[in-house]
Amino acid sequence: MHLALRLKRDGADVTGVDNFSLYYDVALKRARAGELAAAGVRCETMDLVDMEAARALIDKNGFTHVAHLAAQPGVRYSLIDPAAYWRNNIDAFGSVLEGCRHARVAHLVYASSSSVYGANHALPFSEDQNVDHPVSLYAATKKADELMAHSYSHLYALPTTGLRFFTVYGPWGRPDMAAMIFTRAILAGEPIKVFNHGDMQRDFTYVDDIVEGVARVLSLPPRPAPPTGAPHALYNIGNHRAVGLEEFIAELERLLGRRAVKQYLPLQPGDVRATYAAIDRISEATGFVPKTALREGLERFVAWYRAYYGGERGGA
């Protein structure tokens, strides 16, 4: 949603696509679509698994650029419903690749994830590191997307760029992410689950910084590159700072004016202890530098949360 609004403000003709799945609150998704409609952005209801429909959409609208940010997210949910990840992260992405290939799209930018780094302990994570050992099915599907995109770039000269997002947060975010989960629980006086007994670090990246990076990358399709000559690129996109989970919670407590009730638990299957993005590659290519400090980003998030869900109510 944030990217569509930014591109619209920049003068692009933008069409959004969502299947409005039941994975989380559909009302929130509909409200986002309402924000898009108010700004003059079309939002079509479509399941991208339907290859013919996806191809027809791209052909009909004459898209020159495609930003594919749709997916079945969530590391922990991938342990519960693996089939949703095959369907939405592999099959749907295949439909998008086919649509872009036949329409000769100038550049496809797609969302990968920091999860592809698995249990890698060398921080910060660099695009040069091996990512052949994912520790969750979600991560495996994102790695598969990178391989599929590279193959299409090599075989069909389709310029593609994968962006490995690092823990995005901000207004209108997903209810299954830490900012939303913790805020709702703290306001409701309910316990929050603190995994690995609090020994966790994340490269929390504010959504506006992510959007800035994506917008810059969209206008820079990759050139053919060794070893295969494929016009395919991969970039980390993060805040370039590992923040302790306890620091994140303390900042939310300060903004909400309430103390969190913490339930300390072991590390969850599929989780990793720390993420931290090296961003030299995207900075050199586009000039991207994140600008939003955690305190500033969480202030904006909490202000939106109170406005959307209503003051002190739990809501999400």
The CB density around residue 80, as the number of other CB atoms within 10 Å, is: 8
Q: Name the packing angle between helices 51-61 and 92-103 (round to 10°).
A: 40
For the question of residue 152 being annotated catalytic, the response is no
Q: Are strands 243-244 and 42-45 parallel, antiparallel or unpaired?
A: unpaired
Q: Which of 23, 77, 110, 138 is catalytic?
A: 138
Torsion angle of the four alpha carbons 8, 66, 71, 94, in this order, in degrees rounded to the nearest 10: 160
**Which residues are tagged catalytic?**
138
